[in-house]
Amino acid sequence: MSNNTDNTVWKKILPVDDIPVMGSRILQASVGPIAIFRNAQDEVFAILDECPHKGGPLSQGIMHGKTVTCPLHSWNIDLSTGCAQEPDEGCAKSFALKIEAGQVYLNLEEIQAPHA
Q: Is the pLDDT of residue 3 over 90?
A: no
Residue 48 in this model has a pLDDT that exceeds 90: yes
Task: State percent of the chain over pLDDT 90.
Answer: 89
Mean pLDDT rounded to a whole number for the chain: 92
Is the pLDDT reported for residue 5 higher than 60? no
Question: What is the pTM (predicted TM-score) of this model?
Answer: 0.90
What's the CA gap between 23 and 28, in Å, rounded? Answer: 17
Q: Domain 2-112: which CATH class?
A: mainly beta
Span 55-102, pLDDT tens digits? 999 999 999 999 999 999 999 999 999 999 999 999 999 999 999 999
- Please state, in angstroms and rounded to a whole number, the distance separating the CA atoms of residues 116 and 108: 16
